Amino acid sequence: MKKIILSTFFIFGAIALSNAQQLKIVNYNNNIVEYGNIEKGSEGKRILKIENTGDKPLIISNIKTSCGCTVPSWTTTPIAPGKKGEIVVTYNTSIVGNFNKTMVISSNDVENPVLNVTVQGKVN
């Protein structure tokens, strides 16, 4: 009897998770925003297209970066199932040299409530 109850909870839990909101970055592979080689003082803005691949509204609650040289802004309204939003990240291109920064995206994604994204490149 105990096994039947546990199996039932497992099945219903799996169904609930499969129908939850999910954050997917559409236009960058492996959650890496690759700037490549850019010139000092050039445009440091990149736009990440995100999609809610679940069937419940997705809410991005916060984005933290590993340094003040990387500034994010994002869609603050809930993203409906199947719809897209965006995260704009701006890197300070007055700092010459290689960079490898981290953005931590917090959302109500049930499977990945915290998503790490790498921002990297080189300012010449």
Q: What is the pLDDT of residues 6-20, one digit of tens each?
A: 454 444 444 444 568
DSSP string, 89-114: EEE-TTS-EEEEEEEEEEE--SS-SE
pLDDT band at 27 (very low <50, low <70, confident <90, very high): confident
Q: What is the pLDDT of residues 68-111, one digit of tens each?
A: 999 999 989 999 999 999 999 999 999 999 999 999 999 999 99
Find where tokens 């984005």 sit. Answer: 63
Q: What is the pLDDT of residues 29-42, one digit of tens each?
A: 889 999 999 999 99
Domain 2-123 is of which CATH architecture? Answer: Sandwich (2.60)
Residues 75 and 85: beta-carbon distance below 8 Å: yes
By percentage, how much of the chain surpasses pLDDT 70? Answer: 85
Residue 106 buriedness (CB in 10 A; 0-12 / 13-18 / 19+):
middle
Question: Residue ranges of the domains in the chain?
Answer: 2-123
